[in-house]
Amino acid sequence: MISGGGTGGHIYPAIAIAHAWTARYPESEVLFVGAEGKMEMQKVPEAGYTIEGLPVAGLQRRLTLQNLSFPFKLWDSINKAKKLIKRFKPHAVVGVGGYASGPLLFVAQQQGIPTLIQEQNSFAGLTNKLLAKKAQAFCVAYAGMEKFFPADRIHFTGNPVRKDILELASKKEEAWSHFGLSKDRPVILVLGGSLGARTINDAVVASMEHMVAQGYQVLWQTGKFYFEEMTAKLATAKLSHVHAMAFIREMDLAYAAADLVISRAGALSVSELSLVGKPVIFIPSPNVAEDHQMKNALACVEQHAAVLLRDDEAVAGLAAQVDELMSDPEQMDRLGENIKKMGKPDAALEIVKQLETLIK
């Protein structure tokens, strides 16, 4: 059983683990458990797996009426988790973080079923920290995680990510054609996540005329919430070398086209960009629990593997930061090489091997 979710950063690693497991053991069954109404309830069936939903909800970090229902939803979720485990009889349970994983792993641990926790971030999430005492293994993507988990049970596997981004060099021509890009202009790829990021979008609007004047072209994922607003602003500016899309499905082609990437610093984004090996400007979101994204970005900056631009400095400072990097090819190469050293292309398989050890 695999449990967790709430965001793509939890769901996609979970699906990658399931793919790696079923590739090795096609006769086995995998059951996902998520939170009712959250995106895993759609994304997991799309990937070909069965999922059950729990009524669990997150505890707000301030006094709200929502918190009054928290104990009742938690109790109901624990009882449903007991029934699911009794019916499915798992050999092991994997938790990928997010409050959705709490009830299932708690019940599994109470019943002596082996549990493995996969922590994507450089700063452990609350649910994973609460479950740490009785988990048999922790698969992590960053050094220094002994601050949160017992050192003798930590395995440095990296985060599981999509495999189609491993071979990009041969896809550049296809990428130019697919996105309608010019071969004669360097490509700035801008990513704010599937929903979008207000600050990053505002920074692109503030700097896009300058970037086009400098001879660059921009491939821009605005996110679905901001697409109409941003395309209206783009139409007013009449810039033919700025290509805005609500969501980029062909991420392998986008990465192949990119000379420089501007991105949020979610754990999954950082792990993908480590395999891509392109220079990156991280603009961490300040609106995430435990300031995860800043910590993820700093872990790369400390290895001279990325540049950090703070959220509150991005609108005014993006154009200058892009110019500084694009005018220094040696630094661009160095950043790309250093971030690639942090990549773990076989993360999902390494996690499967840890599961095999627990089950045996």
Q: What is the CATH number of the domain that holds 293?
A: 3.40.50.2000
Confidence label for 203 from pLDDT (cuts 50, 70 and 90)? very high
For residue 114, the Cα-to-chain-centroid distance in whole angstroms is 26
Do residue 15 and residue 41 come from a single domain?
yes
The strand pair at 2-3 and 307-308 is best described as unpaired
Q: Would you say 310 is a known binding-site residue?
A: no
Q: What's the confidence (pLDDT) of residue 68? A: 65
- Asked whether residue 126 falls in the same domain as residue 249, the answer is no
Stretch 78-92: mean pLDDT, rounded?
97
Residues 149 and 194 in one domain: no
Are residue 52 and residue 124 in the same domain, yes or no?
yes
pLDDT at position 192: 85
Residue 67 pLDDT exceeds 80: no
266 is in an annotated binding site: no
Judge if 226 and 78 occupy the same domain: no
pLDDT digits (tens, 9 = 90+) for 316-338: 999 999 999 999 999 999 999 99
Encode 217-232: b = buried (16+ Cβ within 10 Å), e = exposed.
Answer: bbbbbbbebbbeebbe
Q: Taking every pair of C-alpha atoms in the chain, what is the biggest distance, in angstroms?
A: 64
**Side-by-side strand order, sheet with 93-95:** 50-54, 31-35, 2-3, 93-95, 115-119, 137-140, 154-156
95 has binding-site annotation: no
Pick from 202, 197, 206: which is nearest to 224 by CA? 197
Average pLDDT for the chain: 93
Span 81-90, average pLDDT: 98
Please tell me the predicted confidence (pLDDT) of residue 324.
97
Decide if pLDDT at 261 tops 80: yes
Which residue type occupies 47?
Answer: A
Look at residue 105 in the predicted model and tell me its pLDDT: 97
Residues 149, 296 within the same domain:
no
121 is in an annotated binding site: yes
Both 174 and 112 in a single domain?
Answer: no
Q: Is 9 annotated as a binding residue?
A: yes
Query: What burial class does residue 47 get, using C-beta atoms within 10 Å of its C-beta: 0-12 exposed, 13-18 middle, 19+ buried?
Result: middle
Residue 50's beta-bridge partner residues?
31
pTM exceeds 0.75, yes or no:
yes
pLDDT above 90 covers a percentage of the chain that reads: 79
Residue 314 and residue 333 in one domain: yes
320 is in an annotated binding site: no
Q: Is 79 annotated as a binding residue?
A: no
User: In this model, does residue 60 exceed pLDDT 60?
Assistant: no
Q: Is 248 annotated as a binding residue?
A: yes
User: What does the pLDDT look like over 292-304, one tens digit per residue?
Assistant: 899 999 999 999 9
Check whether 334 is labelled as a binding-site residue.
no
**Residue 113 confidence class, pLDDT cut points 50, 70, 90:** very high
Residue 59 phi/psi, 5-degree rounding, is -90, 120
Q: Are 265 and 285 spatial neighbours (Cβ–Cβ below 8 Å)?
A: yes
- Residue scoring higher pLDDT (63 or 151): 151
Q: Same domain for 229 and 263? A: yes
In this predicted structure, the answer to whether residue 194 has a pLDDT above a threshold of 70 is: no
Q: Answer whether 57's CB lies under 8 Å from 38's CB.
A: no
Residue with token string 């792990």:
271
Residues 209 and 142 grouped into a single domain: no
339's tokens: 């971030």
Examine the domain organization and report whether 173 and 154 are in the same domain: no
Q: Please state the domain count of the chain.
A: 2
* pLDDT given at position 38: 87
Q: Are residues 335 and 349 in the same domain?
A: no
- Report whether pLDDT(187) > 70: yes
Question: Mean pLDDT across the stretch 231-243?
Answer: 93
Could you tell me which of 297, 223, 247, 267 has the C-alpha nearest to residue 98? 267
272 labeled binding residue: yes
Q: Which domain holds residue 259?
A: 164-341
Q: Which residues pair with 297 in a beta bridge?
A: none
Question: 8 among the known binding-site residues?
Answer: yes
Is 128 annotated in a binding site? The answer is no
- Per-residue confidence (pLDDT) for residue 291, from 0 to 100: 86
Of 41-45, 150-154, 195-199, 234-238, which range is least confident?
Answer: 195-199
Q: Determine if residue 268 is labeled as part of a ligand binding site.
A: yes
DSSP string across 262-311: EE---HHHHHHHHHHT--EEE---SSSGGGHHHHHHHHHHTTT--EE--G
Is 141 annotated to bind a ligand? Reply is: no
Query: Coil, strand, or helix at residue 204?
Result: helix
pLDDT on residue 86: 98
Is residue 156 scored above 80 in pLDDT? yes
